[in-house]
Amino acid sequence: MHNALLLALVGFLLGAANAQWPVRETNQISVQVQNVKQINAKLQEKLNELQIKVAENRYKDELIKSLKETNEGLTNKCSTACTGVSAVQLKGKISELKVIVETYKQMLNNNETSRVNVAQQQLKTCLTQLGQNSPGSGASSTPQPIEKPPAAATSCLPMGYRSGLQTIQLPGLEPITVLCDGSIAGPGWTVIQRRFDGSVDFYRSWQEYIVGFGQKNSEFFIGLENLYRMISYQPHELYIHMEDFNGKTSYARYNHFEIGNEVAKFELRKLGSMSGSADDKLSKSVHMKFSTFDQDNDNAADQNNAAYYHGAWWYTKDLAGSSNLNGKYFNYETENYQGMYWNRDRTLKSVTMLVRPINYT
């Protein structure tokens, strides 16, 4: 009797054990799959980090290259500026050079700031010479300190591939806040005009176009005076990104964008060469002055094109082969000579105009 019970118990235990083995094997396989997924996720994360590092290093290399060129320029400028020029002229040159040095120092990591030490030493030499060359001052005179601008950045280059607001300092102006974009065309671009929903009226007066209007988180125009100061301080390129109502995007890129000051009616002086997927609809406007409905600066004798085309632009005589990016916003595609368009046969859904210092490339 006891033997029968013992055998039954052994058989039961063996059966239970055999029944558990497939379950355990299944659990082990499941754990291994989970481990492989976690490893793959970590590898993908590392790959993303490496890709970001590659982009950052490429950007940093470009900055270092530009910095070396700037240092050479500083040496040449300072060697000539410190001999025989007036104190006022020399002080202006030093202020300009200090802004350049501080800008590049901000863009480089702490372990790379030694690259600008040579440039800073050149500035110290200039400051010493300034004290010696000032009218009425002896060789032992101490030069007057030059105030550091409240913001070292002069463009969006320090933002790199990031997008957002940046305070910049331009000669002759109080610090201004600009919108930087690193997603549309690469790092370091400053948005000067943006339209996408018609919420802001662009049919504005001459004075409004000079100072700018709109909000950075919406549609806006940066202002002709700000734009002139920005691109006259250092050479810039222009990038125009457009989208039509079918979702198709295109762009026009000009490698040397230059305008005149208010006295010159903000004349479009240079564009350089053009590249991109869009047709060239701006080159015909070179040498044209900027016009608004209350400031007729175009070369059409019989009409004010800004009023006639309901916008503000560097208008040619008849607008043939030209654009009207500050024209009236339509919520649909239409052929309308008063509309916001690049090609006159259709209005655009959105447009963004950006500028960036040429010395990035």
Taking CA 271 as the corner, what is the angle to CA 270 and CA 275, rounded to the nearest 5 degrees? 165
Count other Cβ atoms within 10 Å, centred on residue 231. Answer: 25
Taking CA 59 as the corner, what is the angle to CA 57 and CA 61, rounded to the nearest 5 degrees? 65
Residue 345 has, within 13 A of its CA and on its CB side, a CA count of 2
Whether residues 62 and 186 share a domain: the answer is no
Whether residues 69 and 188 share a domain: the answer is no
Whether residues 243 and 349 share a domain: the answer is yes
Last residue in a domain, options 101, 133, 165: 133
CATH number for the domain that contains residue 262: 3.90.215.10
Whether residues 322 and 208 share a domain: the answer is yes
26 within a domain of the structure (yes/no): no
How many angstroms separate the Cα of 57 from the Cα of each of 53, 60, 327? 6, 5, 41
69 within a domain of the structure (yes/no): yes
Count other Cβ atoms within 10 Å, centred on residue 228. Answer: 19
Whether residues 209 and 353 share a domain: the answer is yes
352 within a domain of the structure (yes/no): yes
State how many domains the chain has.
Answer: 2
Whether residues 288 and 161 share a domain: the answer is yes
Whether residues 69 and 171 share a domain: the answer is no
Residue 206 has, within 13 A of its CA and on its CB side, a CA count of 13
Residue 306: helix, strand or coil by DSSP?
A: helix
Whether residues 325 and 191 share a domain: the answer is yes
Amino acid in the structure at residue 346:
R
Amino acid in the structure at residue 309:
Y
Q: What is the pLDDT of residue 150?
A: 42
- Identify the H or E element spanning 75: helix 2-81
Whether residues 82 and 211 share a domain: the answer is no
Q: What is the pLDDT of residue 100?
A: 58
115 within a domain of the structure (yes/no): yes
14 within a domain of the structure (yes/no): no
348 within a domain of the structure (yes/no): yes
The answer to whether 329 touches 266, Cβ cutoff 8 Å, is no
196 within a domain of the structure (yes/no): yes
22 within a domain of the structure (yes/no): no
Q: In terms of residue numbers, what domain contains 338?
A: 157-360
Contact residues for 111 (Cβ-Cβ < 8 A; gap 6+): none
pLDDT tens per residue across span 160-182: 999 999 999 887 778 999 999 99
Whether residues 334 and 265 share a domain: the answer is yes
pLDDT < 50: residue spans in the chain: 2, 5-6, 10, 13-14, 16-17, 19-21, 80-85, 109-115, 132-151
Whether residues 113 and 183 share a domain: the answer is no
Give alpha helix (H) positions in 82-191.
Answer: 87-107, 117-133
Whether residues 328 and 189 share a domain: the answer is yes
